[in-house]
């Protein structure tokens, strides 16, 4: 019987093995993160605008004016017609920056927003990195760099806005929901309590023990949305989402947090609170012109489509209600299928779309939408691995990958600024239909994602997926 001769590995196999070994080294991965960050800086300088903390200068000037005894909502920034537009609780939260200079406050705000962006991407990218055996720090580092080049992130950082901080509060609730779901699975949905030590009180009966228990079991879920809503009204749509999905405890926690924060604002700034809720909140002229190119909401799109400085009210209401119904129903379906991140993303984009004015830096939920599209493409590609059509591999996931690349290029290049027009100096159709399409490109992309963003079945359920009968059986056995 002839002996079996083992063939030496081919050159391609050897090169692939060496490349894999090099790729997995920490030094090379640090280099990739650094290179991605440099490319992001180049993209910001190439496609971004002049920022210089423009919005933060208004906030900083307003809180300094207020701290010195002035009327918060009477402040008008020099050489502008703009003033403070947030509720008093937001002014209280921003009050410490009155002790800093404008530039110092701006850079502190940048660090806080970057920390919030890292939290968001750690939440959405982390499970994907774990699935493919990639270190989380590397995946999140690359993702943060790539996200930094996008229109919503660079405008938030450059203008000194707080959109990423608010989104971080919302995503913190998603993390709390995950912890709550895991605690329910491991300890049972009836109590979720740690066992009491022999001859002593339960750990939850002490203040520190209760706080720790509430933290690790996600009992604070909803507080982030409530705080975000007390600063800006648009996150309030997440409370509606909690109600639609019957997450009543989370919804009531969010409502309680919003009311509590608003009460704190009234306690320390009663006059300003009355002014804000009686007049300022209804004065859209303080925010900006509806048909301005940076306003990429549905209302802005319709105003520019009609080449008018105002939005056709009845048409906007009809389309807004329709889009709201679609967004809520799709988010509920994503929740039921076990992809809470997709549900949160759809709600965030829906809130941006139906709000009368949503500037380009408000659309920060486009970032997790991109990650979801990439993940869906990878999942579909892996599901059909080994299947070919003739000599060509099955093109599963191609349309989702193409959509991700297209949306990413759109929010990096931001073609809307090349076709920015202002009435009455120039019509929004001055560059033809193509120019009008580009001027509304971000709004159209957000609306399409509300309608078409896929979800990943069982990706991250935040509820006990077992049938109700099984859960009741567990409760009886634990009792």
Is residue 14 very low, low, confident or very high in pLDDT (cuts 50, 70, 90)? low
Q: Answer yes or no: is pLDDT of 216 > 70.
A: no
CA 112, CA 116: separation in Å to the nearest integer? 6
Q: What is the pTM of this model?
A: 0.86
358: region left, alpha or beta (phi > 0 left; psi from -120 to 50 alpha): beta
- Residue 415: what pLDDT? 93
d(CA 331, CA 322): 14
CA–CA dist 241, 349 (Å, integer) = 13
What's the maximum distance between 2 C-alpha atoms anywhere in the chain? 100
Mean pLDDT of 437-464: 88
Is the pLDDT at 17 greater than 90? The verdict is no
pLDDT at 225 over 50: yes
Q: Evaluate if residue 31 carries a pLDDT over 50.
A: yes
- CB-side exposure of 23: number of CA atoms within 13 Å? 9
Rounded percentage of the chain residues whose pLDDT exceeds 70: 80
What's residue 293's pLDDT? 92
Average pLDDT over residues 452-479: 61
Higher-pLDDT residue of 349, 2 = 349
Contact 422, 303 (CB under 8 A): no
Q: Report percent pLDDT > 90 for the chain.
A: 47
Of residues 14 and 240, more confidence is placed in: 240
| 470 vs 212, residue with greater confidence | 212
* 415-427 per-position pLDDT tens digit: 999 998 888 888 8
* Distance from C-alpha of 477 to C-alpha of 479, rounded to nearest angstrom: 5
Residue 94 predicted with pLDDT over 70: yes
pLDDT digits (tens, 9 = 90+) for 370-409: 999 999 988 887 776 656 555 555 666 788 889 999 999 9
* Cβ proximity of 147 and 368 under 8 Å: no
Residue 434 has what pLDDT? Answer: 92
- The residue ranking higher by pLDDT, 435 or 397, is 435
More confident: 29 or 34: 34
Query: Which residues does residue 250 pair with via DSSP β-bridges, in sequence order?
Result: none
User: Per-residue confidence at 476, pLDDT binned at 50, 70, 90?
Assistant: very low
The answer on pLDDT for 204 being more than 70 is: no
pLDDT score at 253: 92
Q: Using one digit for the tens of pLDDT, what is the confidence trace for 294-341?
A: 999 999 999 999 998 889 999 999 999 999 999 999 999 999 998 999
Q: What is the pLDDT of residues 174-190, one digit of tens each?
A: 888 877 766 665 555 44
- The encoded tokens of residue 69 equal 């005894």
Give per-residue pLDDT as tens, 354-375.
999 999 999 999 999 999 999 9
Q: Is residue 284 scored above 80 in pLDDT?
A: no
> With 70 as the cut, is the pLDDT of residue 203 above it?
no
Q: How far apart are the first and last CA of the chain?
A: 68
* Contact between residue 187 and residue 193 where contact means Cβ atoms under 8 Å apart: yes
Comparing 48-57, 149-158, 347-356, the range with the smallest average pLDDT is 48-57
Q: For 165-174, 253-262, 392-401, which range has the lowest pLDDT when averaged over its residues?
A: 392-401
Average pLDDT over residues 441-451: 96
Mean pLDDT, the chain, rounded, equals 83
């Amino acid at each position: 019987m002839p002996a079996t001769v083992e063939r030496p590995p081919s050159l391609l196999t050897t090169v692939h093995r060496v490349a894999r070994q090099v790729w997995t080294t920490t030094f090379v991965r640090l280099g990739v993160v650094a290179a991605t960050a440099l490319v992001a800086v180049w993209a910001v300088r190439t496609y971004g605008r002049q920022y210089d903390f423009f919005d933060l200068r208004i906030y900083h000037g307003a809180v300094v004016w207020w701290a010195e005894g002035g009327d918060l909502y009477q402040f008008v920034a020099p050489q502008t017609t703009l003033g403070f537009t947030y509720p008093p609780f937001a002014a209280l939260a921003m009050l410490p920056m009155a002790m800093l200079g404008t530039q110092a406050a701006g850079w502190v705000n940048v660090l806080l927003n970057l920390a919030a962006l890292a939290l968001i991407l750690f939440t959405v990218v982390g499970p994907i990195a774990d699935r493919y055996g990639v270190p989380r720090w590397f995946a999140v580092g690359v993702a943060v760099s790539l996200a930094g080049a996008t229109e919503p992130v660079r405008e938030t950082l450059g203008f000194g806005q707080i959109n990423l901080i608010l989104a971080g509060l919302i995503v913190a609730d998603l993390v709390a929901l995950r912890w709550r779901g895991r605690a329910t699975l491991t300890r049972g949905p009836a109590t979720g309590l740690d066992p009491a030590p022999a001859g002593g009180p339960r750990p939850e009966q002490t203040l520190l023990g209760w706080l720790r228990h509430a933290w690790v079991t996600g009992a604070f879920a909803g507080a982030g949305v409530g705080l975000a809503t007390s600063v800006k009204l648009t996150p309030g749509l997440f409370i509606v989402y909690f109600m639609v999905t019957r997450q009543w405890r989370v919804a009531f926690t969010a409502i309680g947090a919003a009311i509590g924060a608003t009460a704190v604002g009234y306690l320390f700034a009663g006059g300003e609170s009355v002014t804000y809720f009686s007049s300022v909140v209804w004065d859209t002229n303080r925010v900006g012109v509806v048909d301005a190119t940076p306003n990429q909401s549905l209302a802005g799109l319709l105003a520019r489509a009609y080449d008018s400085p105002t939005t056709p009210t009845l048409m906007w209401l009809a389309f807004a209600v329709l889009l709201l119904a679609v967004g809520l129903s799709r988010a509920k379906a994503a929740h039921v299928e076990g992809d809470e991140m997709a549900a949160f993303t759809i709600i965030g984009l829906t809130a941006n779309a139906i709000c009368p004015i949503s500037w380009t830096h408000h659309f920060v939920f486009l970032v997790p939408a991109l990650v979801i599209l990439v993940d869906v493409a990878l999942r579909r590609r892996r599901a059909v691995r080994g299947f070919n059509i003739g000599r060509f591999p099955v093109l599963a996931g191609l349309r989702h990958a193409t959509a991700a690349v297209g949306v990413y290029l759109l929010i990096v290049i931001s073609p809307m600024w090349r076709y920015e027009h202002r009435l009455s100096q120039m019509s929004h159709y001055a560059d033809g239909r193509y120019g009008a399409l580009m001027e509304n490109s971000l709004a159209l992309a957000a609306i399409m994602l509300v309608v078409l963003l896929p979800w990943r079945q069982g990706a991250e359920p935040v509820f006990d997926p077992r049938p109700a009968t099984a859960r009741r059986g567990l409760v009886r056995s634990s009792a």
